[in-house]
Amino acid sequence: MMDLEVLQRNILSRVTANASRLADACPHVAKNGTYDDERIDWWTSGFWPGMLWIAYDLTGRTLFRDAAWPYDERMERRFLEPNRFHHDVGFQYLPTAVIKFKLTGDEDARRRGLFAANFLAGRFNIAGGFLRAWNEVSDPTAWNRNNAGWAIIDSMMNLPLLFWASEELGDPRFRHVAMAHADTVLRRFVREDGSVAHIASFDPATGAFLGWIGGQGFGPDSDWSRGAAWALYGMAVAHRFTGVTRYAEASRRIADFFLSSLEENGVPLWDFRVVPREGEPPDTSAAACAASGLLELAEALPGLAGRAYRDAAIRLLASLDAGYARWDDPADQALLRGATGHRPAGQNVNVSLIYGDYFFFEAVAKLTGWERRIF
């Protein structure tokens, strides 16, 4: 039986050790327990400072606040140079600028969060009703060239930046964009059985739907497990901000498919429909994100229904803790092993990924009573 207080203590002691070990780095991938240092404009740069802000909110210890403080300013500076910011600015600015503003009232952080919301809203394709994924690709041989009409499931987790901006400014424009995109995701990505597509392609000029692309999943008709987790969580959050039941219903359908597709050890493979399955790696980052999303879904549903999703989240976290955490190795910088970044490209397979660590910590914090929300 997992003891949540002990688990949170283990996590906090690793975050404390990392606050000096990782210093001002942008960790993304750890192989054998040692994190790399990515660029500040990469989509994963918000997760480590996000862990520091959660740790600060839980403990009040200023060492966490001081370590997290500079990240949103560094992101803002990077916007003035050639950069790789895209549809994932929500992943970068919600766990930095926006939470910093909520916790400290820092007006510069608020301005940066609103700037990022404007950048994200500016990616909306009115003809197709979707937020554009990624940026222009100059390499004519790249798999993702000609992507002006692409939308991806990951974007669901960036919508809270738009919902927050509407609330902050008392201006519904951002919320209109977020709901239009979420409705396109409902129509084009979420299947009847609760599985989801990764990429939908539209004609960027007319908005006509062209078809699905496998992307980070096994194929156009498969179910990339981290994409499913992004959708499960993102739909639950869209419901929290809007009260619109179709979003909670979609989250529930996705959750049911996710939970019925786990391996015997309670953790998903990187794609629920990969064939053959033998020897395929797990993705613990999908499990961690789904666990935190299930806790949001549980909040949306009354009585026993909500209770069942909360219990499912606890079971996921217990499987991760039992099978993929290394608390007995103080040199390990990561919280979880067994995460998979991009299996079709052979990138970051069976490693530690900072977003897996982030959502693991976030979910455990929610269960121990942390009430603030980043996403």
Residues recognised as catalytic = 88, 154
Number of residues that bind ligand GLY (CB under 6 A): 6
CB of 356 to ligand GLY, least distance (A): 10
271 binds ligand GLY (CB under 6 A): no
| Nearest-angstrom CA–CA distance, 18 and 12 | 10
Residues numbered 332 to 351 that lie near ligand GLY (CB under 6 A) are 341
CB of 325 to ligand GLY, least distance (A): 21
88 binds ligand GLY (CB under 6 A): yes
Please write down the HEC assignment for all residues of the chain. CCCHHHHHHHHHHHHHHHHHHCCCCCCCEEECCEECCCCCCCCCCCHHHHHHHHHHHHHCCHHHHHHHCCHHHHHHHHCCCCCCCCCCHHHHHHHHHHHHHHHHCCHHHHHHHHHHHHHHHCCEECCCCEECCCCCCCCCCCCCCCCCCEEEHHHHHHHHHHHHHHHHHCCCHHHHHHHHHHHHHHHHCECCCCCECCEEEECCCCCCEEEEECCCCCCCCCCEHHHHHHHHHHHHHHHHHHCCHHHHHHHHHHHHHHHCCCCCCCCCECECCCCCCCCCCECHHHHHHHHHHHHHHHHHCCHHHHHHHHHHHHHHHHHHHHHHCCCCCCCCCCCCCCECCECCCCECCCEEEHHHHHHHHHHHHHHCCCCCCCC
CA dihedral 183, 185, 186, 190 (to 10 degrees): 180
CB of 59 to ligand GLY, least distance (A): 29
User: Quick one: 64 or 91, whose CB is closer to ligand GLY?
Assistant: 91
283 binds ligand GLY (CB under 6 A): no
CB of 230 to ligand GLY, least distance (A): 7
CB of 43 to ligand GLY, least distance (A): 6
User: Quick one: 65 or 226, whose CB is closer to ligand GLY?
Assistant: 226
Among 41, 57, 154, 357, binds ligand GLY (CB under 6 A): 154
Binding mask 181-220 for ligand GLY (x = CB under 6 A): -----------------------------------x----
User: Quick one: 219 or 341, whose CB is closer to ligand GLY?
Assistant: 341
Binding mask 30-69 for ligand GLY (x = CB under 6 A): -------------x--------------------------
User: Quick one: 199 or 301, whose CB is closer to ligand GLY?
Assistant: 199
User: Quick one: 154 or 357, whose CB is closer to ligand GLY?
Assistant: 154
User: Quick one: 43 or 233, whose CB is closer to ligand GLY?
Assistant: 43
CB of 16 to ligand GLY, least distance (A): 27
Query: Is residue 329 classed exposed, middle or buried when 0-12, 13-18 and 19+ CB atoms within 10 A define those classes?
Result: exposed
Bridge partners of residue 131, in order along the sequence: 124
Which single residue brings its beta carbon nearest to ligand GLY?
154
User: Quick one: 8 or 234, whose CB is closer to ligand GLY?
Assistant: 234
Residues numbered 222 to 241 that lie near ligand GLY (CB under 6 A) are 226
Binding stretches for ligand GLY (CB under 6 A): 43, 88, 154, 216, 226, 341
